[in-house]
Amino acid sequence: MEGHDAADEPLRQARPGRTQVSHRDHGDFDRDLDHAHHHAGPAVDAPPLAHDAGALISARSLWLTRSGRSILQGVDIDIAPREIVTLIGPNGAGKTTLVRVLLGLEVPDRGSTVRKRGLVVGYVPQRFDVDRAIPLTVARFVELGRRAEDDEIAGVLADVGADKLGDRQFSELSGGELQRVVLARALVRSPDLLVLDEFVRGVDYAGEAELYTLIGRLRSERGFGVLLVSHDLHVVMAQSDRVICLNRHVCCHGVPQSVAQHPEYARLFGPQAARAFGLYHHHHDHRHDLAGEPHPPAADRPDAP
């Protein structure tokens, strides 16, 4: 499943992002490392059923069953302004379903979701099957996110490193280009919240690091909140303010390192995963251009054999 050998990745200490961002008080390990309720049924230690009034999105007690399969079992989640929340969990843990519920694409059986008034969401879906039947330039695709002037569209395309793609046909983009262009469409909306579902899937280690860096930089510049669904159990964007570990219910959550040391995490993914838990940091020894070619083509990449 992983695109690289994460076991070689040492457990590093988190450090603050390069740019100063006023974090909320999620940095406090002990206080933040809640033991959330585990199993079906109302748990004794469940948080009070009040929504977080300051959150961009606040959901309480989300329950959802599809085709007789219980997918969400009392999930609570809040995403604060400017906060980067990474959602991890095994396959079938309900990550994408939770995102769909938060976006209003799926209605839960029970539970409630409160959005900040006038919340603007930018969304990068997990799958994007490009339809060649529709003639569409990249610029026009971006403009479908919000009516925008040409220079605005050129601006967001430049922001994601896709400045030369505006006149290209959307259906002719490569995988890496497509990701950036879909991100540009999310950005043109000037979102309060950016939702990225398995954004780095299919990208190699260095490409992943670069995309995470991009997201971190954009968050610092624009100040939106980010909900990032990660397909990787034990490599998490270092700038995450919080990591939420989901397995139908919220197993544990906290700042990145604290999650790796949490017994629930080890129970869910195994002690090896906990040892291998790594964080993306800003520094990396090379970058990838849009064609996916490394610059410089380093032989000593962390994932090199």
Phi, psi of 174 (to 5 degrees): -80, 170
Least gap, CB of 133 to another protein (angstroms): 5
Per the structure block, which two tokens stand in for 50? 């009040």
Per CB under 8 A, which region of 30-38, 131-139, 203-211, 288-296 contacts another protein? 131-139
Q: Taking CB under 8 A as the rule, does residue 277 contact another protein?
A: no
User: In sequence order, which residues have a C-beta less than 8 Å from that of residue 54 and are 6 or more positions away?
Assistant: 80, 81
Tell me which of 87, 123, 161, 253 binds another protein, using CB under 8 A.
123
Tell me which of 6, 80, 98, 121 binds another protein, using CB under 8 A.
121
Per CB under 8 A, which region of 97-105, 148-156, 223-231, 233-241 contacts another protein? 97-105
CA distances from 253 to 19, 28, 45, 216, 243 (A): 24, 12, 15, 20, 5
Tell me which of 40, 134, 158, 304 binds another protein, using CB under 8 A.
134
Tell me which of 70, 113, 137, 190 binds another protein, using CB under 8 A.
137
Burial of 77 from C-beta contacts in 10 A (0-12 / 13-18 / 19+): buried
Neighbours of 67 (CB within 10 A): 5
Q: Taking CB under 8 A as the rule, does residue 100 contact another protein?
A: yes
Cβ-based nearer residue to another protein, 138 or 245:
138
Pairing of strands 57-66, 69-79: antiparallel
Tell me which of 189, 219, 234, 281 binds another protein, using CB under 8 A.
189
DSSP strand E in the chain: where? 57-66, 69-79, 84-88, 110-115, 121-124, 193-197, 225-229, 235-237, 242-247, 249-254, 278-280, 287-288, 294-295
Per CB under 8 A, which region of 15-23, 53-61, 75-83, 122-130 contacts another protein? 122-130
Per the structure block, which two tokens stand in for 106? 């799926």
Tell me which of 43, 46, 136, 266 binds another protein, using CB under 8 A.
136
Cβ-based nearer residue to another protein, 21 or 154:
154
Nearest to 247 by CA among 108, 88, 47, 32: 88
Report whether 87 contacts 227 (CB < 8 A). yes
Binding mask 139-168 for another protein (x = CB under 8 A): -xx--xx-----------------------
Q: Taking CB under 8 A as the rule, does residue 128 contact another protein?
A: yes
Q: Taking CB under 8 A as the rule, does residue 63 contact another protein?
A: no
Q: What is the contact surface with another protein in residues (CB under 8 A)?
A: 100, 103-105, 121, 123, 125, 128, 131-137, 140-141, 144-145, 169, 182, 185, 189, 195
